[in-house]
Amino acid sequence: MNTIRHDFRSDTVTRPTPAMRAAMAAAEVGDDVFGDDPSVNRLEQRMEGLLGKEAAIFVPSGTQSNLLALMSYCGRGDEFIAGQNAHCYKYEAGGAAVLGSIQPQPIEHRADGTMDPRAVEAAIKSGDFHFATTKVIALENTFGGRVLPLAYMEEIAAIAQKHGLGLHLDGARAFNAAVALGIGIADFTAPFDSVSICLSKGLGAPVGSVLVGRADLIETARRNRKMLGGGMRQAGILAAAGLHALEHHVERLAEDHRRAKQLAEGLGKHKALNVTQPDTNILWVNAEAALEERLTAYLTQNGVGISGHYGEQRWVTHLDVTDEDVESAVRLVDRFFAA
């Protein structure tokens, strides 16, 4: 097995920093199912304050956070609208349907990653017993690392309000988007009734997400978290990592964005590679399928980890990627094309 020395596979591969480990070791803990864990309580209060929402709940994963949100809006046989390639529709093992008995209504994405608001509105169903009743629209931002426009989110929010629907944001990397735009996270998430924030991606914590939103939604989510096996006991050890990340790892996301642009510049020198210009920390590279397969294998053999298949590569910068990692990876790609 090849050893990965420069790991661009995902921002989920980060390891806790020494300072984060120290914060975890020193964490005050209690039984969070009883509401007694002071570190978890501080994390939830900190997150609801940052986003300007009424309540928050700490959960083991982003997948569970999105599922809890959908189950808080929808009963059995209700419907949620999401993008065809949205994480909560495509990449969460059908949990909303399997565990929530919720029907998804996927909408095609436009070239920029948005959904056509007219298509979203046309898909809303209510008042006819032939159809599942639409209860919530779910957006995702960032989407594949791309920052979708604030005006787009506001336009979808207006549609949701017009039809009396909830609006959820899968904001796993919402802090990346806010940093890239140079705005506060509360302004970025303002249109939404609920927001899922991941702590274990760009923010560098080892485990956990926080669902933030209206108090009634979070109260329902807390009951459903217990039902789904997400109630943890002395979870303050993990919450302390999240608190440390919020204090120390938000502004530095700009470094990840800079390194992604540095990667794009280096890889873009090769005409055989079609390199997107990254908005945040995710870089997409397309090539003829056989070439991409050879390049991915060559990088893997030389200690560079990326995600790649069928002519497309995904490179992700994060807390554990340095300038030297970027420079080494670019040199390897240069060597591959020079051979």
In tens, the pLDDT along 288-303 reads 999 999 999 999 999 9
Report, as an integer, the average pLDDT of 110-121. Answer: 97
Phi first, then psi: what are they for 322, rounded to 5°?
-105, 170
Same domain, 191 and 117: yes
Residues for the chain: how many in total?
339
Q: What pLDDT, in 10s, does the model give residues 255-271? A: 999 999 999 999 999 99
- Answer whether residue 2 shows pLDDT above 90: no
Rg (CA), the chain: 21
* Within-domain flag for 219: yes
Q: What pLDDT, in 10s, does the model give residues 212-233? A: 999 999 999 999 999 999 999 9
Give CA–CA dist 230/224, Å, rounded. Answer: 8
Same domain, 237 and 265: no
Q: How many CA atoms lie within 13 A of 75 on its CB side?
A: 1
Same domain, 241 and 310: no
Here the CATH number for the domain that contains residue 214 is 3.40.640.10
Same domain, 80 and 139: yes
Residue 1's pLDDT band, with cuts at 50, 70 and 90, is low
Nearest CA-CA partner of 176 in 324, 318, 16: 318
* Within-domain flag for 50: yes
Residue 339's pLDDT band, with cuts at 50, 70 and 90, is confident
* Within-domain flag for 20: no
- Answer whether residue 309 shows pLDDT above 90: no
pTM to 2 decimal places: 0.97
